[in-house]
């Protein structure tokens, strides 16, 4: 499941727990991102992974990819918060592939990640 994290008006932020499905993305993530793009014409995104990446279903991965493609030129800043080094490294390398800045942060750096996504640092 995915829960929205309350933050500033220029950011969408989420916490992933337990199993994450296609329906979670369609009900929570997609509308929030679409609304943000309509309001500010860019995406500042934060995802806290409080579940193992293996708990994301194939449908969830497909929805994630479709969101990225749908708004490819709108990504500004995206942070993934996890204690998994491989995910942090992958996220850090994503900026070389697609527009926008992507950074991975440790869970202990949550506030730093949120400030970065909000544009405060």
**Would you place residue 65 in the very low, low, confident or very high pLDDT band (cuts 50, 70, 90)?**
low
DSSP 28-85: IIHHHHHHHHHHHSSEEEEEEEES-GGGB-HHHHHHHHHHHHHTGGGEEEEEEE-S-H
The Cα–Cα gap between 107 and 46 comes to: 12
As a whole number, the mean pLDDT across the chain is 89
What is this structure's pTM?
Answer: 0.91
Q: How many CA atoms lie within 13 A of 62 on its CB side?
A: 7
* Domains defined for the chain, CATH in brackets: 2-118 (3.40.50)
Angle at 58 between CA 91 and CA 17, to 5 degrees: 65
The fraction of the chain above a pLDDT of 70, given in percent, is 92
72-120 pLDDT per residue, tens: 889 899 999 999 998 889 888 877 888 899 999 999 999 999 999 999 8
């Amino acid at each position: 499941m995915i829960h929205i994290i309350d933050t500033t008006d220029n950011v969408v932020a989420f916490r992933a727990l337990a199993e994450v499905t296609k329906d979670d993305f369609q009900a929570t993530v997609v509308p929030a991102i679409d609304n943000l793009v309509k309001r500010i014409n860019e995406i500042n995104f934060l995802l806290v992974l409080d579940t193992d990446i293996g708990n994301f279903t194939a449908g969830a991965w497909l929805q994630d990819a479709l969101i990225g493609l749908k708004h490819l030129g709108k990504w500004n800043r995206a942070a993934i918060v996890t204690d998994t080094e491989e995910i942090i490294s992958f996220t850090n390398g994503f900026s070389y592939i697609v527009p926008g800045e992507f950074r991975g942060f440790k869970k202990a750096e949550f506030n730093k990640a949120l400030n970065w996504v909000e544009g405060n640092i």
